[in-house]
Structure 1
Amino acid sequence: MNTAEQVKAKYKLIALDLDGTLLTDEKHITDETKKWLQYAVDRGVKVMFSTGRGLQTAKGFWDELGLDSPMVLLNGAEIWEGPGRIKKRVFLPRDTVRDMHAIAAERGEWYWGYSVESLTGDKEWTAEMFERDWMKFGIGSHDQQCLAEIKEELLSWGTLEVTHSAPTNMEISVKGITKESGVREVCQTLGFSMSDVIAMGDSDNDAKLLQAAGLGVAMANGEEHIKSIADVITSTNNEDGVAQAIRRYVFQME
């Protein structure tokens, strides 16, 4: 590697999805990827997560990398300025959560939600949960027709953002809240533009961000429509795709 003085980064901010992107299928960050993330940080590049995960399941990776940068969690419904410094939370109306819960329960599908207090699945859901404030609600099914029908109904309300991180789920937030909206807000805080961002992802919930970023990078293991809208495609999450993209597109090394 060249010294910091010899290398100039093309982008100021690296926005990373976690599952299927930064993480291997075994939910690890490889040593090669860690090396290139540190290389970027050492050269003044901000490295952040843009993930559907909440703090409950993302914090361990944040700590593992030792990052002191903003984070966009819950598909943009929660934004952190840095470790322990919350900037913004956007909550779903409680009556909307009740209605979504009823739809999933009546159809016998699984569901979950992220509140400030917890990540709660259907097995742990109690009446008390309706008194909490939820930032993201999820519904899952192995029946594609069922998922499509639920998604159509939810979108018809006109108040929700509905996306997915896997073919068997849907992730629901307040309309207009996306990874893109979260990263855009981080850029405003840092004085960056979206053209300063290289974003990487693999699923539907990455689509708007990849299209808005200065460079949208799809993982080779990503969904076909994500690969079709991305600017470039890197290797898979199991083959150091993030590390390769940082080397090639941020520092323009072959």
Structure 2
Amino acid sequence: MNAMQPLKAKYKLIALDLDGTLLTDEKQISEENKKWIQHAVNNGVKVIFSTGRGCQNTKGFWDELGLDSPMVLLNGAEIWEGPGKLKNRIFLPRDTIRRIHAIAAELGEWYWGYSVESLTGDKDWTPEMLKRDWMKFGIGSNDQQKLAEIKKELLSWGTLEITRSASTNIEISIKGVTKESGVRQVCQMLGLTMSDVFAIGDSDNDAKLLKAAGLGVAMANGEEQIQSIADVITATNNEDGVAQAIRKYVFQME
């Protein structure tokens, strides 16, 4: 393929999950994935992240790809218009954080949270942390029954969005804050609709976005329920699944 040859894209916005999707198991972006992301950008497609990660551990990948597009971080709790241009943050109320933290400390095996100041895990947590504003909180356990009980309790409050990025965790935001809600904000900023969106992911926190997108793509290494709701399934994160999907479905090249 001639790099100078313009390609006609079927979708105007590509929303990429990171862990288990764009990133390999070694947390790298393959050269093939980089190539097809660059082809998309060069042909007028907006490429954004839609990730549970925050700016603290996403910016390096943003810089590596040279993207100047918006980003949906923290499962939609933090939206950026572009590098250094914050659009919106949605915080959990401090009293809610205190209640969640108490449950995490008592029942979880590990926990973490994203504030403006830091990504903080349980080993670095201090009482001062409860005076900060938190956008997302996570609780982890290898005990599925324990996680289910924690989730049931948190959902009973009626104010929280509960999802997960792995089978061993739950991720907590304000009710209604999801990757889908974040990508909808980006579409409004760019004058696009959800039918213009090609979204790709592997975990429960991708589910609503994949269902709402013009095309929802699941990774072959993704959860069974994600594969069942997706429109199509691509190769694994270690087999350039993102590149293969962009090539086949965005540019319709066999």
Q: Is the 8 A contact 1:140 1:147 kept in 2?
A: yes
Q: Is the 8 A contact 1:219 1:233 kept in 2?
A: yes
Q: Distance in 2 between matches of 1:241 and 1:108?
A: 33
Shift of 1:6: 4.6
Q: Using a 3 Å threshold, how does the CA distance of structure 1 residues 108 and 5 change in structure 2: closer, same or farther? A: closer
Q: Which runs of 5+ in 2 are unaligned?
A: none
Matched position secondary structure for 2:225: helix
- Which residue type is aligned with residue 206 of structure 1? D
* C-alpha RMSD over aligned residues: 0.9
- TM-score, scaled to structure 1: 0.99
- Which residue type is aligned with residue 231 of structure 2? D
What is the aligned partner in structure 2 of residue 195 from structure 1? 195
- Identical pairs, percent: 81
Q: Is the 8 A contact 1:165 1:203 kept in 2?
A: yes
Q: Distance in 2 between matches of 1:216 and 1:140?
A: 27
What is the aligned partner in structure 2 of residue 171 from structure 1? 171
- Which residue type is aligned with residue 154 of structure 1? L
Matched position secondary structure for 2:149: helix
Q: Is the 8 A contact 2:202 2:222 kept in 1?
A: yes
Q: Is the 8 A contact 1:34 1:65 kept in 2?
A: yes
Q: Distance in 1 between matches of 2:145 and 2:123?
A: 24
What is the aligned partner in structure 1 of residue 148 from structure 2? 148
What is the aligned partner in structure 1 of residue 23 from structure 2? 23
Given the alignment of the two structures, is residue 122 of structure 1 paired with residue 109 of structure 2, yes or no?
Answer: no
Number of residues paired by the alignment?
A: 254
Q: Is the 8 A contact 2:108 2:141 kept in 1?
A: no
Shift of 1:30: 0.3
Q: Is the 8 A contact 2:112 2:138 kept in 1?
A: yes
Q: Is the 8 A contact 1:4 1:42 kept in 2?
A: no
Q: Distance in 1 between matches of 2:202 and 2:149?
A: 24
What is the aligned partner in structure 1 of residue 205 from structure 2? 205
Q: Is the 8 A contact 1:163 1:171 kept in 2?
A: yes
- Which residue type is aligned with residue 237 of structure 1? N
What is the aligned partner in structure 1 of residue 88 from structure 2? 88
Shift of 1:107: 1.9
What is the aligned partner in structure 2 of residue 217 from structure 1? 217
Matched position secondary structure for 1:177: coil
After TM superposition, the structure 1 stretch with the greater mean CA deviation from structure 2, 105-114 or 208-217, is 105-114
Shift of 1:58: 0.4
Shift of 1:157: 0.2
What is the aligned partner in structure 1 of residue 241 from structure 2? 241
**Runs of 4+ with >6 A deviation:** none
Shift of 1:110: 1.0
Matched position secondary structure for 1:150: helix
Matched position secondary structure for 1:165: coil
Shift of 1:2: 4.7
